[in-house]
A and B are shown apart, each in its own frame.
Chain A
């Protein structure tokens, strides 16, 4: 294959935060064969995307910051410059990474106008919303611009089909995946920093953006009911102030710690006893996959996407979303029977290594690009 010249893939993101979607982009560009594909990341220039740009550059991937298009007029005005930018890169594949059904729409339209041979959009998340402002129509138009919707879970695929009537032939499911981490030793120092020196209480970890999607409120409320544990929350977001106030008003602020955004998630995972993701909706959460890959027991909510990897009683524990009492009960039960949850965690680790490796995901994505280009 070395005779084939490398071809350019433009990855497009219009999010303004660093979360699972952004890490999925990095996972992909890190693993696409460099001799075949040249990756370029188009991202919105904003403080939230700084980490994406920085880590992409560290991987030797080119990044192109774009002016934020935060209203329809700016969005429409951004289309022509985007067409020129996409042509300048000589892109043969345009890959949008969507955080909701219409995200990246100006980029997708620009790619269609630039006549990029293969245009795909990864639906990282399916946000349920009513048909206001012609969402259904806009989505139908986007679908016409796209060669394929890439769903990160079967749940997302079925919602695309049921909600927007996307034809099966236009959807491919390539589940989110994780880089299988090297095992990280449990750091007594980090534990002391997080839980307090000499504090032997079990530590429950959540890694999430602090917004309403992630349901952290229910974890903070559940903390009241698990007085024997320390709850550590890594991540930042618009709801941080509200959540900290809630912890104070419940009298648990010393036991519920907000760490802010952290880059040492593998170390945090190694230091904790239990991983919890209380989300209200998800695509296929990377944080859960990472916890599973690290062999950490997981408690998550029974929602589409998550329930494809966390199977209750097999690879983890599922509780109803939005129910602090149920979450507290599950956490207490897990901490009381660590032999059982560690058995589930071992199953989970085996499952993720086998079914959700990032190398396999990148190979499938590369195969999809080839398929679309040869059509």
Chain B
């Protein structure tokens, strides 16, 4: 049997319906089924994802791998290790590929060997989206706008790996993901620092479209930001030279009002226990009731969560 041209690696954790949708979207590709394979890495999900994915019989070659819960970085590495395609595409489990998704990624690699191609991942925004999801969707879609107008010079923080393709040998050469990142966030930025160091050019392809559904509530979003703060400390310790380009090193560039709000909340957290939980719960509750203007609180509160995480990871500093 000949090797496929491209391997799609989907790490997944506790999102059975979502990963099944992602797999079904890959069934209707303009690329012929024998030209690609899909590797799902179930990262210790207990919701039956493994059996449900294993029960599918898609037109393409599907491999379902299982591991104890070790985080997204380890899951991606396991998937890449099993991949046989010349190009690997890392795809999150909440993404649904457009029909020419695989063809567009492949054609982007025709322009060079040492390329990391970030595909577009617009957040589908239905009319009844809850405020946290609408906030993230808007922010992310705006981010895509910016990427589309940049001329090949993507910054570190522009990088995401939920829809990323790279030649397998190049990814292996830089050593894949750092498995020390066991919680959410920054494992992709860490990779992008090493990619850049290895002379890999990071480009954006608006044609390699995978639609992202975002369904986290505010508590989930706040939790992600705490985790991101924690891993940001890990990241900045590993790559101190990248600090000025990271959010954790750019506090002084945030708007003054937001900095004030964040400082106030952080100060209160130091004195009173449980402030973070309460603030998160209240803002989440306001969002659930669709209180107008609640989204204006999100940047400050989410930043605050981020700095809480960073402070915890830095040892209460």
Q: A residues near B, CB below 8 A? A: 196, 198-199, 201, 221, 224-228, 248-255, 332-333, 336
- How many A-B pairs have beta carbons closer than 8 Å: the answer is 61
Smallest CB separation, B124 vs chain A (Å): 7
Which of chain B's residues 82-136 have a Cβ closer than 8 Å to chain A? 98-100, 120, 122-125, 134
Closest 4 CB pairs of A and B: A251-B141, A228-B206, A251-B138, A227-B120
Smallest CB separation, A124 vs chain B (Å): 31
> Is B285 at the interface (CB under 8 A from chain A)?
no
Whether B148 and A225, one on each chain, are in contact in the complex, defined by CB atoms closer than 8 angstroms, is no
Cβ–Cβ < 8 Å partners of B211 in chain A: 225
Smallest CB separation, A223 vs chain B (Å): 9
> Is B149 at the interface (CB under 8 A from chain A)?
yes
Cβ–Cβ < 8 Å partners of B209 in chain A: 225-228, 332
CA of A227 to CA of B137, assembled, Å: 13
Smallest CB separation, A317 vs chain B (Å): 15
Beta-carbon contacts of B129-155 to A below 8 Å, as 1s and 0s?
A: 000001001111110110011010000
Whether A336 and B134, one on each chain, are in contact in the complex, defined by CB atoms closer than 8 angstroms, is no
Cβ–Cβ < 8 Å partners of B141 in chain A: 224, 227, 250-252
CA of A227 to CA of B122, assembled, Å: 7
> Is B207 at the interface (CB under 8 A from chain A)?
yes
Cβ–Cβ < 8 Å partners of A251 in chain B: 123, 137-142, 144-145
Q: In the complex, which of the residues A196, A201, A336 contacts B206, with contact meaning CB atoms closer than 8 Å?
A: A201
Whether B206 and A332, one on each chain, are in contact in the complex, defined by CB atoms closer than 8 angstroms, is no
| Interface majority SS (helix, strand, loop, mixed), chain B | mixed
Cβ–Cβ < 8 Å partners of B99 in chain A: 333
CA of A199 to CA of B142, assembled, Å: 17
Cβ–Cβ < 8 Å partners of B139 in chain A: 251
Cβ–Cβ < 8 Å partners of A226 in chain B: 209
Cβ–Cβ < 8 Å partners of B98 in chain A: 225, 332
Provided the pairs A227-B120, A249-B138, A336-B100 are in contact, do residues A255 and B148 lie with their beta carbons within 8 angstroms? yes
Whether B120 and A228, one on each chain, are in contact in the complex, defined by CB atoms closer than 8 angstroms, is yes
Q: Which residue of B lies closest to A225 (CB)?
A: B122
Interface centre among B99, B137, B138, B141 (most CB of A within 10 A): B141
CA of A254 to CA of B211, assembled, Å: 19
Given A225-B124, A250-B141, 10 other A-B residues pairs in contact with their CB atoms under 8 A: A221-B125, A224-B125, A227-B144, A249-B134, A251-B123, A251-B137, A251-B138, A251-B144, A255-B145, A255-B148
Which of chain B's residues 197-230 have a Cβ closer than 8 Å to chain A? 206-207, 209, 211
Q: In the complex, which of the residues B100, B125, B134, B148 contacts A227, with contact meaning CB atoms closer than 8 Å?
A: B148
Smallest CB separation, B66 vs chain A (Å): 33
The 8 listed contacts between A and B (C-beta, < 8 Å) are A201-B206, A224-B125, A249-B125, A250-B137, A250-B141, A251-B139, A251-B142, A251-B144
Q: In the complex, which of the residues B100, B122, B145, B207 contacts A254, with contact meaning CB atoms closer than 8 Å?
A: B145
CA of A221 to CA of B137, assembled, Å: 13
CA of A253 to CA of B146, assembled, Å: 11
Whether B149 and A196, one on each chain, are in contact in the complex, defined by CB atoms closer than 8 angstroms, is yes
Cβ–Cβ < 8 Å partners of B149 in chain A: 196, 199, 254
Smallest CB separation, B103 vs chain A (Å): 9
Smallest CB separation, B102 vs chain A (Å): 13
Cβ–Cβ < 8 Å partners of A255 in chain B: 145, 148
Cβ–Cβ < 8 Å partners of A227 in chain B: 120, 122, 141, 144, 148, 206, 209
CA of A78 to CA of B207, assembled, Å: 58
Beta-carbon contacts of B37-66 to A below 8 Å, as 1s and 0s?
A: 000000000000000000000000000000
Q: Which residue of A lies closest to B121 (CB)?
A: A227
